[in-house]
A and B are shown apart, each in its own frame.
Chain A
Amino acid sequence: MSNKEPKRDGGVTQESIFGSGDESERSRSSPAQRLRRSYNFYLKTPFAVAWSDWRTRIGGIGILFYILMGTVGVLITPEARLNEGDYFVQPFVNMQYPLGTDHLGRDILSLAVHSTPAMLKMALAGLIFAVGLAIIFGMIAGYKGGMLDNLMMTVADVFIVLPGLPLIIVLSAIFTPRDAFIVGAILSISAWPRLARELRSQVLALRSEDFVEASRAMGISTPTIVGQELVPKVAPYMLIRGAGAAVGVIRNSVALYFLGILPFSSENWGVMLNQAYGQANAVQTPSRTYLMILPLVLLSGMLFSAILFSQGLDRVFNPRLRARNSEGSREEDGGDGGAGAI
């Protein structure tokens, strides 16, 4: 490098040496190439990385299964009607009602399938609200600091301190939400403040990193720094916690429906459990236990898939894995990789 002649152009400024808009030198890659590169970077590689992990595969398939059940399944399975069959038909007995019927003669399978959209909506609402509020409060407070930080964290602290379950019960009693989406939103109230605080801690740690300081030195605006530098770093953590929040919302909803606190508006597994327990005495009657098993299995499956998927997804943000799975990747670690201190 020291014996290389600098490209001089008759004493002109840096602009023309390192490139300006001049036409003589066309760009190296055509728009088509750039598009292909974007596709690789943003779609293909993340997908390849994600797919390489068994957790993402299994979790992803699981979630896909539920989404299909909630969309296509709903379309192909007829809605359960009262008295369409005998009461308490056992599962695997009558192929018309493959998983049996409940105390009102409704087909358990179609009940379960038609519950899925509501559960998905609740999960989605929980995810959006919990993570969204956490991001707004946590990242901005963490990055900006000062008075804004104090204010936002005080709000979060108020919500942390308020007892979660009783609060939700009270809110449910007051607002009697029927729409699944609103139920999810209300139930996420207890989840977001803790997430916000955790996010804030991470941002605080990142804020003092050299690369953030360099971006500040360049005068890059705060929102850009947050989006460009910080989000990729906190994304894996947020995904996992976000999935945890969604899972928590669903669990809470099932609990509340089971306890009968949330009003019944549509079918959902919590309602099914409630009715199995209350109306059919399923817990104490062995022949009726099947009424509880299906909703429980579906519930567990959904939560498990969500958690697995989010854990696997965190690999997508690991630059080493992205590099390894990139098109035409070379396994160079710049001499740093290897057996540690050599």
Chain B
Amino acid sequence: MSTDDADTDEETETTGDDDEPLLEVKDVEVHYKPGNLIERYLNDRTIRAVDGVSFELEENDIIVLVGESGCGKTTLGKAAVGLERPTDGSIRYKGQDIWDSKDSPRNADIEWGDIRRAMQVIHQDPANALNASRRVRSILADPLKKYRTELGPEEREETIYRYLEYVDMMPPEDYAGRYPHQLSGGEKQRITLGRALLMNPDIILADEAISALDVSLRVGMMDLILDLQEMFGTSYIFISHDLANARYLAKQAGGRIAVMYLGRIVEIGPPDEIIQNPSHPYTEVLRWSTPTIDPDIARQQMADEPPVRQLDVPDPEDPPSGCNFHPRCRYGREACTTEDPELFEGTGTRSACFRALPNHEYWDSAELTDGAEPGEVQAGFGDD
């Protein structure tokens, strides 16, 4: 690479192209074929973990992926930060397709190494995310040794101590010499956070980063993450199965919540709208499922039936035709079995439901009945 190219690269890296979003996820699919070699050859089963997702992430932006297990949020998150390769679709970092950059480095505007550095991950269980056989000092030195090569060993140590002080782990010299098992859950999580931040990344994927912590510590950790986010301008992709935590994160940071179901985003928008005015029936289900702490409201809610026709999630290998929520949807109609809705602009959010469109043929088609009253919960496996 000539020196000219090197200069332009640096420019692209630090200032960025104003028109390009920081991260663009477009029509991404991640399909697996389960089983071993022979099984895969003999049958045609595919698990569509992520089935056509698009979204954009700007600088200093937060998006929270919410959904139940099997909805694909973890797979999507990992694909978005380049830890898993999608089977279709593209992921662009500042305009550069990241897998193209890795496969054909010559043609890349942004090198794979820089992309890799810009996208980091914080895992759910801090006990697993830290190598139990290595001390804190050694773990935190990793990113510095790799990317801050101008620092000598003393300076590295200094940087590590400063980080430990910032996150209230004092005295830093003591903490630096500890093994992970000598740290509490919250402290461990602060180390994983530090490891990601010392890379100075642009995007961090936080995969259920607080669910392994004690309840009273979660707000503290979320606040810390939000503080650091503000300070360094990192963008975050949070993954959460808990709508209440998702609301806290998204609201404090002015981000969005994206509700996922069976590999797709079914609704995306600002947290207040999602929670108070859900457009998509599945969002309603999630909202209903999230307990409120006010005992009067909670007691009232106990009498409500769940707003689904079937309680159990369908088989991910055999998703329903048309809209993949229709078998459980309390508003399901014939039109939903044939056509697959995209994300339509609704009031305040974008929602993948025909009900967002006032003039769709949905409103003219017959209601779906399967022997149950709409809203009555059926016993069974949910795969009909």
Contact = CB atoms under 8 A, between A and B. Distances in A.
A19 B152 CA distance: 11
A251 interface: no
Contact of A213 (B83, B159, B166): B83
B200 A336 contact: no
Contact of A7 (B132, B166, B196): B166
**Chain B residues touching A, range:** 35 or more
A6 B227 CA distance: 8
A81 interface: no
A27 B81 CA distance: 35
Contact of B227 (A2, A34, A330): A2
A221 to B, nearest CB: 9
Contacts of A232: 131, 133-134
Contact of B181 (A27, A28, A209, A320): A320
Nearest to B124: A210
Nearest to B179: A319
Interface stretch (B25-33, B115-123, B342-350): B115-123
Interface string B164-201: 00111000110001111111110110001001111110
Contact of B83 (A1, A13, A217, A330): A217
B119 A214 contact: no
Nearest to A327: B177
Contact of A219 (B116, B133, B159): B116
A338 interface: no
B261 interface: no
Contacts of A211: 128-131
B163 interface: yes
A217 B121 contact: yes
B224 A1 contact: yes
Contacts of B181: 319-320, 323, 333-334, 336-337
Dominant secondary structure at the B interface: helix
Contacts of A8: 231
B162 interface: yes
B340 interface: no
A334 B197 contact: no
A34 B154 CA distance: 9
Given A1-B224, A34-B153, A334 B142 contact: no
Given A21-B150, A215-B142, A1 B232 contact: no
Contact of B151 (A4, A6, A20): A20
A1 B185 contact: no
Contacts of B142: 215, 218, 220, 228
Contacts of B177: 37, 326
A229 interface: yes
B220 interface: yes
B152 A21 contact: yes
B223 interface: yes
B16 interface: no
Interface string B126-160: 00111111110010001100101011111101110
A286 interface: no
Given A19-B155, A323-B179, A218 B227 contact: no
A83 B198 CA distance: 75
A202 to B, nearest CB: 14
A335 B163 CA distance: 23
A210 B232 CA distance: 25
B236 interface: no
B220 A2 contact: yes
Nearest to B81: A217
Interface in A15-44: 15, 17-21, 25, 27-29, 34, 37, 41
Contacts of A220: 142, 146
Given A21-B152, A336-B181, A319 B224 contact: no
B9 interface: no
Contacts of A336: 181, 184-185
A213 B121 contact: yes
Given A2-B220, A211-B130, A322 B158 contact: no
B106 to A, nearest CB: 19
Given A232-B134, A317-B133, A217 B119 contact: yes
Contacts of B223: 1-2
A28 B173 contact: yes
B75 to A, nearest CB: 13
B173 A18 contact: no
Interface string A194-236: 0000000000000001110111111110000000110011000
A219 B198 contact: no
Contacts of A25: 158
A38 B200 CA distance: 28
B325 interface: no
A210 B150 contact: no
A15 B200 contact: yes
A88 B46 CA distance: 79
Contacts of A317: 133
A228 B134 contact: yes
A228 B139 CA distance: 10
A79 B116 CA distance: 65
Given A28-B157, A333-B181, A219 B117 contact: yes
B131, B158, B159, most chain A CB atoms within 10 A: B131
B183 A334 contact: yes
A17 B227 CA distance: 14
Nearest to B214: A335
Nearest to A5: B227
Counting chain A CB atoms within 10 Å of each CB, the highest count among B158, B182, B200 belongs to: B182
A15 B83 CA distance: 26
A21 B192 contact: no
Contacts of B380: none
B168 to A, nearest CB: 6
7 contacts: A2-B227, A4-B227, A21-B152, A210-B125, A217-B83, A232-B134, A334-B183
Interface of A: 1-2, 4, 6-8, 13-15, 17-21, 25, 27-29, 34, 37, 41, 209-211, 213-220, 228-229, 232-233, 317, 319-320, 322-323, 326, 330, 332-337
Given A6-B227, A319-B133, 12 more contacts: A2-B219, A14-B231, A15-B200, A21-B155, A27-B155, A27-B158, A210-B125, A214-B196, A232-B131, A233-B131, A323-B178, A334-B188
